[in-house]
């Protein structure tokens, strides 16, 4: 679907001329970020299907609560896409960036943990996937507001 949409956008620019190029490039960026979220969600599924079990541990409840928080953020992002609001977008960005920092801190704590690798490696990988999901969610919201920002190296794209 993503390739089909990109093709249609390229055809649109070809037929209509370059007057819409900024909007089309913004849409292509949005599509790419949406694809990245799908890829990371697939990676989480692959973890589960490979036999990784995160249930029954001391952090399981916190992980479930965080899953609910991220799910809510998808709804917030949809609302911001439907009705742009600079103040709400900045508040959303602040919360997302704080969550990205929390995920990074968890990843680093697992990397330096004395616990067995079978316990910490899946968690570090899981939080890496979540970190990229929420960062790309922010990227989608920001791209919808400003498709081609003057500063191309935004926080949400620093390691993609």
Encoded tokens for 14: 């070809």
| pLDDT given for residue 149 in this prediction | 55
Encoded tokens for 24: 């089309």
Q: Which residues of the chain have pLDDT under 70?
A: 1-2, 5-6, 9-14, 16-17, 19-21, 146-160
Name the helix (H) or strand (E) containing 139.
helix 117-145
- Residues 80/88, Cβ–Cβ less than 8 Å: yes
| pLDDT given for residue 148 in this prediction | 53
| pLDDT given for residue 9 in this prediction | 67
Encoded tokens for 64: 């479930």
- Residues 84/145, Cβ–Cβ less than 8 Å: yes
Give, in order, the Cα–Cα distances in Å from 90 to each of 45, 111, 134.
31, 31, 15
68-83: string of b/e by CB count within 10 Å (b at 16+)?
A: eeeeebeebbeebeee
Q: pTM score, two decimals?
A: 0.79
| pLDDT given for residue 28 in this prediction | 78
| pLDDT given for residue 138 in this prediction | 95
| pLDDT given for residue 94 in this prediction | 97
| pLDDT given for residue 152 in this prediction | 47
Give, in order, the Cα–Cα distances in Å from 117 to each of 20, 68, 124.
51, 27, 10
What does the alpha-carbon distance between residue 14 and residue 97 come to, in Å, rounded to a whole number?
A: 37
| pLDDT given for residue 129 in this prediction | 97
């Amino acid at each position: 679907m993503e390739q089909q949409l990109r093709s249609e956008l390229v055809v649109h620019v070809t037929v209509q001329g370059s007057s819409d190029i900024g909007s089309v490039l913004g849409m292509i960026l949005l599509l790419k970020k949406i694809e990245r979220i799908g890829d990371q969600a697939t990676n989480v599924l692959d973890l589960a299907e490979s036999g990784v079990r995160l249930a029954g541990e001391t952090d399981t409840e916190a992980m479930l609560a965080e899953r609910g928080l991220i799910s809510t953020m998808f709804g917030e992002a949809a609302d911001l896409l439907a009705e742009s609001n600079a103040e709400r977008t900045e508040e959303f960005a602040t919360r997302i960036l704080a969550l990205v920092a929390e995920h990074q801190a968890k990843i680093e704590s697992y990397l330096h943990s004395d616990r067995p690798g079978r316990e910490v490696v899946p968690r570090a990988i899981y939080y890496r996937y979540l970190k990229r999901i929420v960062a790309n969610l922010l990227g989608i919201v920001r791209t919808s507001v400003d498709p081609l920002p003057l500063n191309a190296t935004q926080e949400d794209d620093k390691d993609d």
